[in-house]
Structure 1
């Protein structure tokens, strides 16, 4: 795996961090949550799963906060 040496994180981890920040920004902008938001391990793993399957941050927010059918 290639590493992004400027941030000190592997490229994949940097991508995940950027994705989570975009997810948070989207969730706040559409009113799914209000700051502050405490990210626990279970939530982080769930969001990482959304990232890994290729959802956009907006799709991840919809999946996370949406009603299950």
Structure 2
């Protein structure tokens, strides 16, 4: 892996972490989860899938918890 792709990976991870942080705050605000919430690998993979397809954190909260609009 060259340094540019390594840098891009770091930026992608940073963006995903920020997105998950917003998702977490919105899920707590909606009272779907309570702190502390431990993010397991399965949940992290699912959230990354929502992130990868372009869902907003709010839309991902609804998709994750099955809330109908």
| Aligned match of 2:40 | 40
Q: Please state which structure has a larger fraction of its residues in helix.
A: 2
Taking structure 1 as the reference length, what is the TM-score of the superposition?
A: 0.82
Structure 2, unmatched stretches of 5+, are: none
- SS of 2:15's equivalent in the other structure is helix
Taking structure 2 as the reference length, what is the TM-score of the superposition?
A: 0.82
Question: What is the root-mean-square deviation of aligned Cα atoms in Å?
Answer: 1.9
Aligned length: 64
Which has more radius of gyration?
2
| Aligned match of 2:12 | 12
Runs of 4+ in 1 over 3 A off after TM superposition: none
Structure 1, unmatched stretches of 5+, are: none
Q: Output the CA distance in 1 between the equivalents of 2:10 and 2:36.
A: 27
| Greater length-normalized contact order (CA 8 Å, ≥ 6 residues apart) | 2
